[in-house]
């Protein structure tokens, strides 16, 4: 231990003011004669590790260092000296205390890195203990054994007190105590990641993470199990791989089924592993977490284009969707879905694409209905592509928007006027023209005869009718005798097949039919006027002939 004498400092006393003592300090007290306390009351400092001092290779931890002052505060001097006693009691002067204490450590030559520099301990009173933290990092290659950590404690203490009337003087010395603490490095199984790989690992997919680990420690890991831990991007579905007993230097392989979460782009991502095992004493133990990196693929990515197929206002058609896999992983059992979005209403559950290897394309159709409120223009159609990962889970893409054009509604008109006499049954002809931008397939023109018309012949087949094309159809129509000569309209529709061979009926269009005055007596009346006298005459002749035969 080393000591140095502090200088003498005198201070005039001020009633009611308490001064902190730093170095040699004087504070006035009442008194008439000089009194002196003089004795080497040197603190007796020692240090130990509070709690466990056991660590393992590769471990980083914080120990608690307990600095104890073994001085009991009792001196051989005459403590009945009134004024000196009053100074001690009034101003908290601590005989035998270590004040302003600091500690410094030395880790040279030991496999332990001390993370603390020189640190303050403060005052260590007599018979008491002050605790300070010490953070250490044990080398991965540290051999088991007990290691001594040298410590240097610096402090100050009271050498003597002199009281002379209204003044007193405290003289201090500084001291140094060299001591040490011991840290025990125990045998320990130590995990090291040797190799890692990912099989079909990409965003939101379930795949496999395969890892090879080695016990690089000094103790066998008995009944060891390996877990995937500390990895925010990997959600293990099976998280306990049995390794058995792993002797120092041995390697083991393990595979973890995992789901990738929160990954926005391809790249390498950290994965942590920890082994749980029984040590040589049969006690449960765990290794430190060790990290490796695994490559995460981009996964299937898609480029989508859509072609309209018979998509017209107020009609049923299809969106012809072509999907290209622009990613780096095959899309197994790929299929597309159209999200409901005005003016479209999907009528099918999507279209199948099969398996799309990187760079491959496939086309499918989604049956859709177009609202009657739609306009003839392009609309955005959200498309979602789904596929199955290696474990059969459905992985859906983000919505991909494609423009889809909607054509104007199918339209036709009746371009001429038919004529019929009142009371007549005649064959009338109508000419229909396709005034829309799409053709009619397997079309039939139908009329709806209402008073004053009647018909049993209300349909006429025209087949194909392209845009701008005309077709003439005919029907047998009867106009009532009481029909007023004027223009009437017949409700006319075209029934046709859409691209899905479903029958569709167009909107109603008017066909003008003009009823005219009769041109002469009707045939039934002429027959009545002429036929009755003829028949009567024939009857008279018939009766005369029969009478002659009877008389003769």
Q: What is the pLDDT of residue 100?
A: 93
Q: What is the pLDDT of residue 530?
A: 42
Round the average pLDDT of the chain to a whole number and report it.
84
Distance CA 61, CA 39 (A): 43
Nearest-CA neighbor of 326 among 231, 227, 377, 397? 397
pLDDT in tens, 358-388: 999 999 999 988 988 888 899 999 999 999 9
Under 8 Å CB-to-CB from 548, ≥6 apart: which residues?
A: none
- Per the structure block, which two tokens stand in for 18? 């308490």
Q: What is the pLDDT of residue 1?
A: 53
- Per the structure block, which two tokens stand in for 322? 């072509």
Which strand (E) or helix (H) includes residue 68?
Answer: strand 60-69
Distance CA 37, CA 27 (A): 15
Under 8 Å CB-to-CB from 128, ≥6 apart: which residues?
A: 68, 69
- Per the structure block, which two tokens stand in for 374? 């739609």
Q: What is the pLDDT of residue 503?
A: 86
Task: Tell me the torsion sign for CA atoms 21, 22, 24, 28.
Answer: negative
Residue 547, exposed/middle/buried by CB under 10 A (0-12, 13-18, 19+)? Answer: exposed
Q: Which residues of 98-128 are buried (b: 16+ CB within 10 A; e: fewer)?
A: bbbbebebebeebbbebebeeeebeebbbee
Distance CA 428, CA 420 (A): 7
Q: What is the pLDDT of residue 284?
A: 94
Strand order in 344-346's β-sheet? Answer: 302-309, 315-325, 361-370, 344-346
Give the side-chain half-sphere CA count within 13 A for 102: 7
Can you give the pTM of this predicted structure?
Answer: 0.59
List the chain residues with pLDDT less than 50.
3-32, 78-80, 522-552
Q: Are 468 and 437 in contact (CB under 8 A)?
A: no
Q: Are 319 and 368 in contact (CB under 8 A)?
A: yes
Under 8 Å CB-to-CB from 246, ≥6 apart: which residues?
A: 189, 215, 220, 221, 224, 252, 275, 277
Strands (E), 139-166: 145-164
Nearest-CA neighbor of 124 among 98, 157, 149? 98
Under 8 Å CB-to-CB from 447, ≥6 apart: which residues?
A: 430, 455, 458, 475, 490, 491, 492, 511
Q: What is the pLDDT of residue 91?
A: 59
The residue to which tokens 């009792």 are assigned = 74
Distance CA 134, CA 182 (A): 13
Distance CA 505, CA 169 (A): 118
- Per the structure block, which two tokens stand in for 83? 């004024």
pLDDT in tens, 78-124: 444 555 666 666 656 678 899 999 999 999 999 999 998 899 999 99
Q: What is the pLDDT of residue 92?
A: 62
């Amino acid at each position: 231990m080393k000591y140095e004498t502090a200088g003498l400092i005198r201070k005039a006393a001020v009633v009611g003011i308490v001064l902190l003592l730093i170095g040699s300090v004087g504070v006035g007290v009442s008194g008439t004669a000089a009194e002196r306390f003089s004795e080497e009351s040197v603190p007796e400092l020692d240090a130990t590790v509070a709690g466990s001092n056991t660590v393992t290779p590769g471990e980083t931890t914080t120990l608690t260092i307990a600095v104890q002052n073994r001085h009991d505060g009792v001196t051989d001097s005459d403590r009945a000296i009134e004024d000196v006693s009053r100074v001690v009691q009034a101003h908290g002067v601590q005989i035998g205390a270590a004040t302003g204490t600091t500690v410094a450590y030395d880790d040279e030559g030991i496999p332990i890195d001390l993370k603390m520099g020189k640190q303050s301990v403060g005052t260590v009173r007599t018979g008491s203990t002050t605790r300070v933290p010490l953070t250490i990092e044990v080398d991965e290659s540290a051999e088991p054994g007990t290691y001594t950590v040298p410590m240097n404690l610096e402090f100050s203490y009271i050498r003597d007190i002199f009281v002379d009337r209204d003044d007193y003087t405290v003289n201090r010395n500084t001291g140094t105590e060299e001591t040490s603490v011991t840290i025990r490095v125990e045998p320990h199984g130590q995990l090291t990641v040797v190799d890692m790989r990912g099989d079909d690992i990409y965003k939101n997919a379930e795949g496999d993470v395969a890892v090879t680990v080695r016990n690089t420690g000094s103790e066998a890991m008995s009944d060891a199990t390996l877990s995937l831990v500390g990895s925010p991007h990997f959600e293990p579905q099976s998280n306990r791989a049995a390794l058995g007993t792993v002797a120092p230097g041995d390697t083991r392989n393990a595979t973890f089924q995992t789901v990738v979460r929160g990954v926005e782009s391809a790249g390498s991502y950290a994965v942590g592993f920890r082994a749980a095992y029984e040590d040589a004493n049969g006690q449960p133990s765990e290794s430190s977490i060790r990290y490796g990196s695994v490559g995460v693929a981009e996964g299937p990515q898609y480029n989508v284009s859509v072609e309209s197929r018979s998509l017209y206002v107020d009609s049923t058609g299809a969106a012809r969707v072509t999907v290209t896999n622009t990613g780096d992983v095959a899309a197994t059992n790929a299929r597309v879905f159209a999200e409901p979005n005005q003016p479209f209403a999907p009528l099918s559950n999507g279209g199948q694409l099969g398996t799309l290897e990187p760079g491959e394309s496939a086309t499918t159709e989604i049956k859709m209905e177009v609202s009657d409120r739609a306009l003839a223009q392009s609309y955005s159609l959200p498309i979602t592509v789904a596929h199955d990962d290696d474990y059969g889970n459905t992985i859906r893409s983000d919505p991909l928007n494609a423009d889809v054009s909607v054509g104007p509604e199918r339209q036709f008109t009746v371009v001429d006027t038919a004529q019929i006499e009142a009371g007549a049954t005649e064959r009338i002809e109508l000419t229909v023209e396709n005034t829309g931008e799409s053709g009619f397939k397997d079309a039939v023109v139908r009329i709806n005869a209402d008073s004053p018309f009647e018909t049993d012949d209300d349909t006429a087949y025209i087949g194909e009718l392209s845009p701008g094309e005309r077709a003439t159809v005919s029907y047998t129509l009867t106009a009532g005798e009481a029909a007023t000569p004027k223009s009437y309209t017949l409700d006319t529709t075209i029934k046709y097949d859409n691209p899905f061979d479903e029958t569709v009926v167009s909107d109603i269009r008017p066909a003008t039919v003009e009823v005219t005055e009769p041109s002469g007596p009707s045939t039934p009346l002429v027959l009545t006027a002429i036929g009755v006298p003829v028949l009567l005459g024939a009857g008279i002749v018939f009766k005369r002939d029969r009478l002659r035969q009877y008389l003769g």
